[in-house]
Structure 1
Amino acid sequence: MKLMSWNCQGLGRALTVRNLRDLVMKFHPSIIFLMETKMRSSRAMRLRRRSGFQHDLYVEPLGLSGGLAVWWKENISLTVLFKSKNIIHVEIASTSLKIPKFVTFVYGPLKERDRWIVWDLLRSLVAGEQET
């Protein structure tokens, strides 16, 4: 199983879409995490389907910034345990995995004061304190 993470800085441009397709064709990821999509989920779903991913999870952008997406293939079982504007925490199961794995996708905030909030949230996720 391959996992790919990319800060795409907006999915609306033709060059970005072409680069995404090239990366998917080259590396054949089973799961892809996209940061800074700057795109509503309704538009991103079309791109996800054209890219060969059957499932999706979105955190909508705030205004013209942010936005997270996780896309995964049919042979993956992904359960969302927590999501916010900066973090998506999931449990992943697959026939290629002996036991389920926990994965936390993080899009770090630009401002230093906001980073402490994300770090505290990550610590609480590790400690099992956070609810969905």
Structure 2
Amino acid sequence: MSCLSWNCRGLGNASTVKELRDLAKKVAPTVLCVLETQVHKARVEGLKNTLGYDNAFVVSSVGRSGGLGIYWNNNTRVEILPFSQYHIDAIVTENGHDPWRLRCVYGEAQVAERHKT
């Protein structure tokens, strides 16, 4: 069981998606978290097959800021707990293993607004 978290700085670029796809194929994490997607939720969800995953949970970006996503396959159970535009909290369970906690966090870029994170 493994997790890869990647600050992709935008998934609107074909070369970024290719780099992420290659990385996901090479590392083959159980759960893949993407941060700072900078695109609408539908675009991030639409990449699940390209990246080799069956499922996705996405928090859309606000304009060209933020955005979070988690990908996983059917042999893994992901229970989404509270989430916001700054984080996704989840419990991950893979057959035969103890559950573990996953929290993907994207911090507010503007210092004066970091209290929101």
Q: TM-score, normalised by structure 1?
A: 0.81
- The gaps in structure 2 that reach 5 residues or longer are none
Q: Deviations over 1:47-84 (max 9, x none)?
A: 21121111111111101211111111111100111110
Aligned pairs, number: 117
Q: What is aligned with 1:76? A: 76
Instruction: Tell me the SS of whatever aligns to 2:15.
Output: helix
The higher-RCO structure (CA 8 Å, 6+ apart) is 2
Structure number with greater Rg is 1
The sequence identity of aligned pairs, in percent, is 32
Bigger strand fraction: 2
Q: What is aligned with 2:31? A: 31
Distance (Å, rounded) in 1 between the aligned partners of 2:44 and 2:14 = 13
Q: What is aligned with 2:85? A: 85
- The gaps in structure 1 that reach 5 residues or longer are 119-132
Q: What is aligned with 2:61? A: 61
Instruction: Tell me the SS of whatever aligns to 2:61.
Output: coil
Distance (Å, rounded) in 1 between the aligned partners of 2:21 and 2:77 = 23
Q: TM-score, normalised by structure 2?
A: 0.91
Question: How far off its partner does 1:44 sit?
Answer: 2.0
